[in-house]
Amino acid sequence: MMLINLEAEKGTFLENLQIVRGPYLQVGSESSIIIRWATNAAVHGKVWYSTNPDRLDLTQAETTITCDHTLKLTELTPDTKYYYAIGTTTGVQAGGTEDYFFVTAPSQDLAPEQVRPLRILVLGDAGRGNDIAASVRDGYLKFTGTRHTDLWLMLGDNAYDTGTYEEYQRGIFEMYPQFLRSSVLWTAIGNHDGGSADSLLQTGPYYELFTMPTRGEAGGVPSGTAAYYSFDYGNIHFICLDSYGSDRADHPPQAGDGAERPLRDRPSDSSLEEYRTPEGAMLTWLARDVAASDKDWKIAFWHHPPYTKGSHDSDTEIELIEMREHALPILEAAGVDLVLGGHSHSYERSYLIDGHYGTSDTFTQEMKKDGGSGREDESTPYQKPLTAPQAGTVYIVAGTSALADQVSPHPAMYTSLSIPGSLVLDVHDKRLDVKFIDDQGEVQDYFTMKKTIV
Ligand SMILES: [Fe+2]
């Protein structure tokens, strides 16, 4: 499909001007979205958009020239499909076809009969740019078919080995162009991303390439930093934490664990130095953020998982231990439903559990709020009151989107698999269906969680 009205826009391009990254979608809300892309020369970027694919008559343009284009579209209608094209003030370069579109987030607080199903894709440790990543991507595409992906999460280690621009190009921008241009991406930072980025200083490719809602632009309490943030989507509250880049100065990254990151000079404000402590800036913000949310579902994600016996061990590694001991009590007291992580290259999925903050040998049967599979067809779904604290959380490691390593069973886990794949979350009102999809598009694990109003 060609856009008739855009023909007139096609003027004389700068010679050899090329799009070298994107377009990709960031910080989508019900009324706004950010479209980013990069060109090989500095130009005035421009976006054309509309709900009518044959007439993209709304525009937004940059006022200064740049290679790295970021345009925020505002005053959008909730839950609405918009088509778009990108280019320069001299003409259209890409888009204007049916596969260049985005869908704004649903309105908050809809009546139950107005709530539509939401689909979320989750990739972990995906940034290798290898054949496995491509097959996992294609497996998901086979699974989802024509069903649109409302948003997608990356759980860190989004670019191997040290998070350089070239590695993001190969690991993300050349691997997932279809997802990038039509579904908003929300990222967490991993240790490999941290090889070239500094969370305290907000510098490096990870912080240059991705835009996060530091001021609560998409809901949630403003975090004031791109290292961790929250946002709402429909009836879901998402929380992204930084389990790596905010290392305490006396706990440098473990040798042999991904990137070797030299400790840099820290800001003189000592309150910035210990994010993973209960009194630190991140977890203080977290407590305020989760307490303020009244969404039906609360889903937290970060890179280093609190429970794993895969290529990493949550009994021995400091980031995993500290996140378990310090973040989990806050999240469970706030009734968080799902916690997603990567780092280990395995798929590990817990029972519905509560109150396990020690090493794996301290896990007890009493910590299982439901020790079944959560599968509706063979047992019963996990059930939780809508807002109750300490009612159980499911913890998932989903770090096999580009590599699958051996895994041993952790006592909190219902299942542990060494299979390449991706995670799919389907949320429809008070029902959550979770599926682990392999690289052939087949479901390898699944469960359901339901919220009851008491
Ligand atoms: Fe990692």
| Assigned CATH for 4-103 | 2.60.40.10
* pTM recorded for the entire structure: 0.92
Phi-psi region of 249 (alpha: psi -120 to 50; beta: other; left: phi over 0): alpha
Backbone torsions φ then ψ of 360, nearest 5 degrees: -65, -25
Question: What is the CA(244)–ligand 1 centre distance, in A?
Answer: 9
Backbone torsions φ then ψ of 295, nearest 5 degrees: -70, 155
pLDDT at 52 over 60: yes
Question: What is the CA(304)–ligand 1 centre distance, in A?
Answer: 7
pLDDT-derived band at 62 (thresholds 50, 70, 90) equals: very high
Question: What is the CA(266)–ligand 1 centre distance, in A?
Answer: 23
Taking only the tens place, the pLDDT of each residue in 13-30 is 566 899 999 999 999 999
Taking only the tens place, the pLDDT of each residue in 128-150 is 999 999 999 999 999 999 999 99
Question: What is the CA(25)–ligand 1 centre distance, in A?
Answer: 24
Question: What is the CA(124)–ligand 1 centre distance, in A?
Answer: 9
8 Å CB contact between 136 and 224: no
Report the alpha-carbon distance of residue 58 to residue 5 in Å, rounded: 12
Question: What is the CA(187)–ligand 1 centre distance, in A?
Answer: 14
pLDDT-derived band at 109 (thresholds 50, 70, 90) equals: confident
What residue segments make up the domains of the chain, in order of their start?
4-103, 112-452
8 Å CB contact between 136 and 106: no
Burial class (CB in 10 A: 0-12, 13-18, 19+), 109: exposed
Residue 188 C-alpha from the chain's centroid: 6
Q: Which fold has domain 112-452?
A: Purple Acid Phosphatase; chain A, domain 2 (3.60.21)
Question: What is the CA(147)–ligand 1 centre distance, in A?
Answer: 30
Predicted pLDDT at 13? 59
pLDDT at 420 over 80: yes
Question: What is the CA(196)–ligand 1 centre distance, in A?
Answer: 14
Report the alpha-carbon distance of residue 347 to residue 342 in Å, rounded: 9
Average pLDDT, the chain: 91
Q: What tokens does 151 get?
A: 């948003």
- Biggest distance spanned by C-alpha atoms of the chain: 70
Predicted pLDDT at 16? 86
Span 100-121, mean pLDDT? 91
Report the alpha-carbon distance of residue 90 to residue 333 in Å, rounded: 55
Predicted pLDDT at 271? 41
Predicted pLDDT at 387? 86
Question: What is the CA(55)–ligand 1 centre distance, in A?
Answer: 45
Question: What is the CA(422)–ligand 1 centre distance, in A?
Answer: 16
Instruction: Flag the least confident range among 110-114, 203-207, 355-359.
Output: 110-114
Predicted pLDDT at 20? 97
Predicted pLDDT at 317? 92
Report the alpha-carbon distance of residue 322 to residue 212 in Å, rounded: 24
Question: What is the CA(277)–ligand 1 centre distance, in A?
Answer: 20
Q: Residue 384: count other Cβ atoms within 10 Å of its Cβ.
A: 23
